[in-house]
Amino acid sequence: MDIDLPEVVAEVTEAFNRYEKALVTNDVETLDALFRIDPRTIRYGATEVLYGSDEIQAFRAARPSVGLDRTLDGTVITTYGRDFAVASTLYHRPSSGGKLGRQMQTWVRFPEGWRVVAAHVSLMDPPRDKPA
């Protein structure tokens, strides 16, 4: 299996960046489009557990659109073959009370393009050896 083929990493990075822009601008239509429309799609959020695209879309529609700005740190995108990838990042958001955010997404290439099939978002106190 080929890991981190440059052209595949570039494709997933583009999809990841598109997701990030949609997230901080509350572009719900794009966020919904980048998650796989499927009852098996899962998103574990900082305060929610969402099973299936219907629950994920309902969460996005009801989410407040303020305080979404954030900065990313330590983003790693790893691809496995041509159709599977994992994106991991840390983030800092002023509205997170000094907590360090962590996000992981599993991306799969479908005929309609790259889609998130599983995501996990969590917050933690920053490690003592890393400033917030």
130 compared with 86, residue with greater pLDDT? 86
Least confident of 3-7, 16-20, 122-126: 122-126
Given a cut of 80, whether residue 132 has pLDDT beyond it is no
Percentage of the chain lying above the pLDDT 70 cut: 98
| Mean pLDDT calculated for residue range 37-41 | 98
Give the per-residue pLDDT at 97: 86
Residue ranges per structural domain of the chain: 6-124
Q: Which residues of 6-38 are buried (b: 16+ CB within 10 A; e: fewer)?
A: eebeebbeebbebbbebbeeebbeebebbbbee
Tell me the C-alpha distance between 16 and 114, whole Å.
9
Q: What is the mean pLDDT of the chain?
A: 95
Give the per-residue pLDDT at 131: 56
Tally the residues of the chain: 132
- 105 forms beta bridges with 87, 119
The model's pLDDT over 109-120, given as tens digits with 9 standing for 90+, comes to 999 999 999 999
Give the per-residue pLDDT at 130: 57
128 compared with 86, residue with greater pLDDT? 86
Assign domain 6-124 one CATH number from 3.40.50.10490, 3.30.499.10, 1.10.287.70, 3.10.450.50: 3.10.450.50
